[in-house]
Amino acid sequence: MKRIKTDILIIGAGSGGLSVAAGAAQMGADVTLLEGHKMGGDCLNYGCVPSKALIASGKAAYGQRHAQAYGVENVAGAVDYAAAKDHVADVIATIAPVDSQERFEGFGVRVIREYGHFISHDEVQAGDTVIKARRIVIATGSSPLVPPIPGLDSVPYETNETLFDLRERPEHLLIIGGGPIGMEMAQAHIRLGSKVTVIEGDKALGKDDPELAKVVLDSLRDEGVEIAEDALAAEIRGKAGAIEVEAKDGRVFKGSHLLMAVGRKANVDKLDLAAGGVKPSRNGIMVDDSLRTSNRKVYAIGDVAGGLQFTHVAGYHAGVIIRSMLFGLPSKAKTAHIPWATYTDPELAQVGLTEAQARKKHGSALEVVRFDYAHNDRAIAERKTKGFIKVMVVKGRPVGVSIVGYQAGELINLWALALANNMKMSQIAAMVAPYPTIGEVNKRAAGAYFSPRLFESAMVKRVVGFVQRFVP
């Protein structure tokens, strides 16, 4: 058995673990990184990257079939599903060197390609190596949650970890789960020529503002996606190419392929947390505001920490714990400024409180301002007028922003900056946006907050009248 000592041991080479490794090593710490599977983790290999690449293929096919509005003849847009998957693989391969073992070894990181498990409060075994560390970071991420639905164990099904290896286009894709993953893959596949049925036990996109979610769901239905809500899967039966899902209320949905997209579970099974004195939680690992576990030497970040499950959150967590581990400074993770987006068409994005959450928290102090894409000149030129922005404002400061529409995931960045820095609506309104851009939607929303105060105020009108009469 080989034994080594290190300042920082990181378990998991996904986005969070890699961020810690790169930052800590380049600032002088001795860093060891364990990864038993693929460098880059879920995001690069099975999640964000391949899904957005497949969405891009679907968007290209849809654009060919819907070009007439721009003075260009519609064409059939024949889809080569295998070639679309080649595109996905090429995108992954292009990004992979950034997350590669070689690159991180270049930073001075000791990379061990084995899974790790605790054998004491400050020791982890990985293969034939025992690593003793001053600080340990658990960054093992999450995996697809596959619920114990009767019959599922006897029927072939896909998850996000297998879907992108599928080479033959599904004739009729059944998707159990109407969250962001389910809806993104539903739209991608309907555009690539499959029939698609989404089976959701509650409400599709149920974690988002229902007013905005409706815009997305209506768009998907218009494209031909069948979305069955309040359809809790009770039994699955059939065989490859002929699968049936029966809902609790008796509805039966038939298709050729099945995708399970009901959520994620934290990857903790291989860790032997008890040996490390690390307490689990219902959603992963129990952490405090500093992302420390019950063992003060051990941190948990990203999906395994049991909070918001987004790649950018894992990266943010990395910055929080680097401040603590390397510099001994107090550092706490917050969530109020964390944005997220669903990359359907139209896109759906959120930061801070939704309208319902803001009303519950702030009551009568809340003001809600809106601006529709239909009044944005660039959106009109691009024929992307479906959607709107909604800003929740309390005492002149935004506390939440919801956007549905073209490039919503890009527009939300400004509001994430505003919430992170406690900015005022006046600062947003002071921004000069180039014309014509979709980004003017943000400035016009801020203008909608001030318009009544300027144009409907008797005091303002009296002041203007006085100046016009008496000031030379």
* Residue ranges at the known binding site for NAD(+): 177-184, 200, 263
Q: Which helix (H) or strand (E) element contains residue 366? A: strand 366-372
Q: What does the alpha-carbon distance between residue 132 and residue 130 come to, in Å, rounded to a whole number?
A: 7
Asked if 33 contacts 112 with a C-beta cutoff of 8 angstroms, the reply is yes
Binding region:
52, 116, 140-142, 177-184, 200, 263, 303
C-alpha dihedral (416, 203, 192, 255), degrees to nearest 10:
150
Tokens, residue 276? 């490390």
Tokens, residue 163? 């879907």
Total count of residues recorded for the chain? 472
Contact residues for 460 (Cβ-Cβ < 8 A; gap 6+)? 453, 454
The conformation of residue 421, written as its DSSP 8-state character, comes to T
Phi first, then psi: give them for residue 157, nearest 5 degrees. Answer: -150, 160
Q: What does the alpha-carbon distance between residue 101 and residue 114 come to, in Å, rounded to a whole number?
A: 13
Asked if 318 contacts 23 with a C-beta cutoff of 8 angstroms, the reply is yes
Asked if 8 contacts 33 with a C-beta cutoff of 8 angstroms, the reply is no
Q: What does the alpha-carbon distance between residue 226 and residue 228 come to, in Å, rounded to a whole number?
A: 6
Asked if 185 contacts 342 with a C-beta cutoff of 8 angstroms, the reply is no
Binding region for FAD:
52, 116, 140-142, 303
Q: Identity (one letter) of the amino acid at 75?
A: V
Q: What does the alpha-carbon distance between residue 38 and residue 413 come to, in Å, rounded to a whole number?
A: 30
Helix (H, G, I), strand (E, B) or coil at 271: coil
User: What letters, b where the CB count within 10 A reaches 16 and e where it falls short, cover 7-22?
Assistant: bbbbbbbbbbbbbbbb
Phi first, then psi: give them for residue 320, nearest 5 degrees. Answer: -65, -45
